[in-house]
Amino acid sequence: MVKKTVTKEESLKLLALIEYIYPVVTVKSETIIDWMSICDSLKYNFTFENLVKHIRVNPYPPTLTEMIDGTGNDRTSFGWVKEYSIRDQKRNKPTT
């Protein structure tokens, strides 16, 4: 299976998805230029999977580095979630 590199159109779609998921983000022309300069060296499936993983675990938009190498996707929960969530308390209660 040949891994397809990211086209310029796909780069714009990825950036549009980031803007859609993170409404406070406005992609600047500098960001687009950065993406366009490296898109030939990126693999689309890998980059897209990194974005999806990032969206699932991160409330903040990814950096270009996180998109390329997948860093920042290892967080499965946030410390403050446990403090305010009753889920863990329910799960850990013994049933009688």
Using CA atoms, how far apart are residues 52 and 8, in angstroms rounded to an integer? 19
Residue 40 contacts residue 5 (beta carbons within 8 Å)? yes
Higher-confidence position of 65 and 2: 65
Average pLDDT in the 31-60 region? 88
| Within a domain: 1 | no
Residue 95 pLDDT exceeds 60: no
Which residue segment(s) compose the domain that 58 sits in? 8-92
Q: In the chain, how long is the greatest CA-to-CA distance?
A: 62
CA 20 to chain centroid, in Å, comes to: 12
| Within a domain: 37 | yes
Q: How many domains does the chain have?
A: 1
| Within a domain: 77 | yes
| Within a domain: 3 | no
pLDDT for 21 equals 93
| Within a domain: 44 | yes
Grouping H, G, I as helix, E, B as strand and the rest as coil, residue 21 is: helix
pTM of the model: 0.67
Range of lowest pLDDT (22-31, 34-43, 55-64, 74-83): 74-83
| Within a domain: 24 | yes
